[in-house]
Structure 1
Amino acid sequence: MARTTPILDVPAAQCSVFWSRIFPFLRWWPLVQRDTLKADLIAGLTGAVIVLPQGIAFAMIAGLPPVYGLYTAMVPPVIAALFGSSRHLISGPTTAISIVVFATVSKFAEPGSAQFIQMALTLTFLAGVYQLALGVARMGALVNFISHSVVVGFTAGAAILIATSQLKHFLGIHIPAGESFLHTWQDIFRQFHEINPYVTGIAVVTLATVVGFMIYRPRWPGLLIAMVVGSLLAMALGAPTHGIALVGEFPASLPPLSLPDFSLGSLKALGSGALAVAMLGLMEAVSIARSVALKSHQRIDGNQEFIGQGLANMVGSFFSSYASSGSFNRTGLNYDAGAVTPLAGIFAAIALAAIVLVFAPLAAHLPTAAMAAVLVVVAWRLIDFHHIANIVRTSKRETAVLAVTFFATLFVELEFAIYAGVMLSLVIYLMRTSRPGIVSRVPDPAAPNRHLVTDPKLPECPQLKIVRVDGSLFFGAVDHVQGAFQRFAEQNPGQKHLLVIGNGINFIDIAGAEMLVQEAKRREAQGGGLYLAKVKDEACHILKRGGYADTFGREHIYATKGDAIESIFKKLDRSICERCDRRIFLECGSVPHAEKAPEAKATA
């Protein structure tokens, strides 16, 4: 549907502020009209067709029966639509979440077993509790501190793991469940001569069908059509007689009630993995919601999105749904299809439930080889080659975060890979903030008022060093800044006076204030001084409140650079100024040149 003008937020005055906070859907409900209902219904039907094959595929990645992927696409999207902040975000099963669920739960139970299902539901409930708690605590800004490189690296690694795990179904060989990445490839090469040509043929035809639709008919439901083609081919070849495994029929029913395992042992075993699922889900949901909001001109409330995702997982765990999050491709399709309100996601869930009730028996003819081919395509599309190339090309530090997360995903525990990437991105962030920029400033002789510039070719005053600090003076940056000040003193011992331009200093903590006091005392002992100019009120507050300004002198804090230079100039050694030929300050013109001693005449 063509989109003309964006739908902006409804003023809060149209509904009770109190009730809209408890029930966020009251904020967009006034938008619902006949035209919006039609647009949302069309978008919902489109989304239901798309999520049908994806739900089955993602559940297989998670080690769950296929129907659980469809249940996850029915219940959580409704809760997330009602209690989230985005009008276009579609929640449900995702690839990255599915593979973390499998990696976490498969350590404690056999994939597909009743115990595995119950532990997956417990993991989902715990993840929802974490997400809800973060949302209630108003910590929605946490995701801003997680580098995008972590998500890109983890997703790329997860894509390779997904494709590797499906090769046994693609080739028709037996590989034990739970094998590591390296062991899986060892088993593939060891059993390469046992490949089933009928299974591989179905997989290749399905794969070719998907790729063909991606190239020539990208807006058609290529995954669904490819699964039908694979099923028809399996029926034509005679699946039972050639060892062609089938997915099997799943129940044609709505999501049944379920109960997670709340025993202390299960909660302790799954606590760490649930936190990884929660953080990964929040990163996906908030980043996707914000990317679509840029197009729809809608404001996203990160805290409300946390609450919506948390409630979706908590409620979903009691309706046979495993961990869910925002889906990029389904959200993008929902927006492109003309959705106006979150009712599109609700309509998609209802339409999917109707499809399952009618067509569930057809899944009995779906070969696992066709599903494996679909998952290989899904894995390939997960790898963001454009962003990977851009990260490698532009930043060594972000490349390190990407590489660590990627290789940790392949070779260690998946939740550890997420934690490793997040911790490394935080370390890099702290390294950046702990090394504020410190640049020398000198007057520009070509300017009438000689404003300060950064130019290493211009001369400096032999007695006064002027620097600008671009960054906060907090405990993590103290060592770097103090070391820079001391290097300046060692390089030019005559520059006993130091003027710090502080308009780039956002705040100063106690450690930073004490460092300034120490530097001031050291320079005073040498006959110089430390001075501050253009310091922000917020940064100056702690200096005055803690008495640090009194220690090194309130008169050493200036409102402007001009006032600072004029005052400091009076404290400079006049004999040095008289012999100086640089004359870089306007005040230098008031100092006469020292008379040169007459040259001694040569004697015979």
Structure 2
Amino acid sequence: MIPLLNQFHSYQIKDVKRDLFAAIMVASLLVPQSMAYALLAGLPPVYGFYSAIIPLIVYGVFGPSRQLSVGPVAVLSIMTFTTVSTLAPIGSPLYLQLVIMTTLLTGLLQLGLSICRAGTLIKWIPGPVISGFTLVLALTIILNQLQHITNVSFNKELPFFFAVKDFIQSIQMVDWATLMFSSFLFIIYFITKHTASKLPAVLWLLGAGIIATYVMKFDRKGLHVVGEVPSAMPSFIQPSLLIDYLPAILPLAVMIALIGYMESIAMVNQLNEKRKEQLKPNQELFTLGLSNTIGSFFCCFPVAGAFSRSAVNADSGAKSGLASIFCAVFLLIILSLFTGLFAYLPMAALAIIIIVAAVRLVDVNMMLGREINRRAYGLFAVTAVGCGVFGLMEGFVVGVVVGVVGRVVGRVVGRVVSKDRFNK
């Protein structure tokens, strides 16, 4: 049975108001985040809208969780960028084709894994590996956004440690005017974040950035802005399966399928614990795969469940998948009528949104070695160093192999020792 229809069994008229309110609150976050994460993925902002609208509708109808908000997330955007940018020039038709191909393969892999009922096999990926990978991923996201904060160009396609070196060597090219304006926007964000404002801090940030740029004509003085965002609606396309690029894209799709599912199921688990609902991992995996697969036919980049927006959705009182569908409708209205407002939106403002999201990904306790044993910290360090030196995908594979082998060897040795003790 379609989950949305099942949710209507206990649905009441007053719940419509709650779903509408939750949709408005999520949309207020999703508008700037969708544009920011599209830019993070190396795509124009309008593709962020596409990647928010279509998955919201698909998950709203078929998703088992009433409150999970599916759409663009920073983790998958930077993973897409770091691989696809090495295969095609950013902004080229080939780049877009490869991103859409990645979305299609990601969705098909998630659908296949759900059919094989592999939703619970994710436990074989050790937690320290995830933490080590996520740490370098977050640092990579932050580093890449420094280009918009300082106006310093450097080679972002390099592995993290080498990209840091290239940035330091180019630091003398910093644009102090852009840096000062970015600092002003940071201050606006943190003041509104820690005051009793009813509006989200990101809206204050966007408003301050747009008004200041328009009034002071900063865009004519070298400040990079988003520019014109087309009002075109998502249109149906047929994704291209470029066989020559399959060896490079398939490993990326596998990683995105796993990481995207892990991020989503972790949030669903938290939401279900509060509502005392049963977790359905394979159904979540299937619906996530369906969202990516259908999304690839509408120019979407890979998506997953978002922590911040799902939390807002739950706190705002969302009662069903209609909240996601209403949110998609609001985004369609904004895309149709109000994209002109974003012409003066500073790139630095979107960079701040991305940086704030990336900081939340860092596991401070794991990084400082608190409350974990030496073996777990060693695995965390191996993964982090591997990701920083060889690249995100390569480091993740190294961590998984070391972790799984270590777990298997530990069990075998434990059984042998137990057997020897028993014989004695």
- Superposition TM-score tier, normalisation by shorter sequence: over 0.9
Whether 1:102 and 2:81 are equivalent positions in the alignment is yes
Distance 2:76 2:183 in 1: 27
Match of 2:331 among 324, 347, 352: 352
Match of 2:389 among 411, 421, 444: 411
Distance 2:56 2:325 in 1: 7
Cα offset for 1:37?
1.4
Check the 8 A contact 1:131/1:278 in 2, yes or no: yes
Check the 8 A contact 1:202/1:370 in 2, yes or no: no
3-state DSSP of counterpart to 1:64:
coil
Q: How does 1:88-487 map to 2 (within 5 A)?
A: 88-217=67-196, 220-386=199-365, 388-389=367-368, 392-436=370-414, 477=415, 479-485=416-422
Check the 8 A contact 2:71/2:304 in 1, yes or no: yes
2:193 alignment partner AA: M
Cα offset for 1:388?
4.5
Check the 8 A contact 2:159/2:391 in 1, yes or no: no
Check the 8 A contact 2:366/2:377 in 1, yes or no: no
1:211 alignment partner AA: F
Measured at CA, do residues 196 and 290 of structure 1 come closer, stay the same or move farther in structure 2, by a change above 3 Å? Answer: same
- TM-score w.r.t. the length of structure 1 is 0.67
Check the 8 A contact 1:405/1:417 in 2, yes or no: yes
Q: Deviations over 1:157-187 (max 9, x none)?
A: 1111011111122111222452443343333
Measured at CA, do residues 309 and 426 of structure 1 come closer, stay the same or move farther in structure 2, by a change above 3 Å? Answer: same
Distance 1:138 1:182 in 2: 38
Q: CA RMSD in A?
A: 2.1
* Higher share of residues assigned strand: 1
Cα offset for 1:146?
2.4
Distance 1:177 1:359 in 2: 32
Distance 1:260 1:397 in 2: 44
2:377 alignment partner AA: T
Check the 8 A contact 1:204/1:373 in 2, yes or no: no
Whether 1:50 and 2:29 are equivalent positions in the alignment is yes
Cα offset for 1:190?
2.8
1:260 alignment partner AA: P
Q: Deviations over 1:346-374 (max 9, x none)?
A: 11111122122222112211122222233
Measured at CA, do residues 187 and 387 of structure 1 come closer, stay the same or move farther in structure 2, by a change above 3 Å? Answer: closer
Distance 2:63 2:242 in 1: 30
Measured at CA, do residues 320 and 234 of structure 1 come closer, stay the same or move farther in structure 2, by a change above 3 Å? Answer: same
3-state DSSP of counterpart to 2:254:
helix
Measured at CA, do residues 192 and 269 of structure 1 come closer, stay the same or move farther in structure 2, by a change above 3 Å? Answer: closer
* Larger CA deviation: 184-193 vs 291-300: 184-193
Cα offset for 1:79?
1.2
- Where does structure 2 lack aligned partners over 5 or more consecutive residues? none
Distance 1:210 1:332 in 2: 20
Check the 8 A contact 1:78/1:346 in 2, yes or no: yes
Check the 8 A contact 1:71/1:320 in 2, yes or no: yes
Check the 8 A contact 1:173/1:195 in 2, yes or no: yes
Distance 1:230 1:290 in 2: 36
Q: Deviations over 1:504-548 (max 9, x none)?
A: xxxxxxxxxxxxxxxxxxxxxxxxxxxxxxxxxxxxxxxxxxxxx
Runs of 4+ in 1 over 4 A off after TM superposition: 386-389
* Larger CA deviation: 264-273 vs 83-92: 264-273
Q: Deviations over 1:462-501 (max 9, x none)?
A: xxxxxxxxxxxxxxx3x33344456x3xxxxxxxxxxxxx
Check the 8 A contact 2:160/2:387 in 1, yes or no: no
* Larger CA deviation: 128-137 vs 64-73: 64-73
- Where does structure 1 lack aligned partners over 5 or more consecutive residues? 1-19, 437-476, 489-604
Match of 1:38 among 1, 10, 17: 17
Measured at CA, do residues 86 and 241 of structure 1 come closer, stay the same or move farther in structure 2, by a change above 3 Å? Answer: closer
Higher relative contact order (CA 8 A, sep 6+): 2
- TM-score w.r.t. the length of structure 2 is 0.94
Cα offset for 1:414?
1.7
Cα offset for 1:227?
2.1
Cα offset for 1:343?
1.3
Cα offset for 1:297?
0.9
* Higher share of residues assigned helix: 2
Cα offset for 1:421?
3.0
1:129 alignment partner AA: L
3-state DSSP of counterpart to 2:37:
helix
Cα offset for 1:218?
7.2
Distance 2:284 2:402 in 1: 25
**How many percent of aligned residue pairs carry the same amino acid?**
29
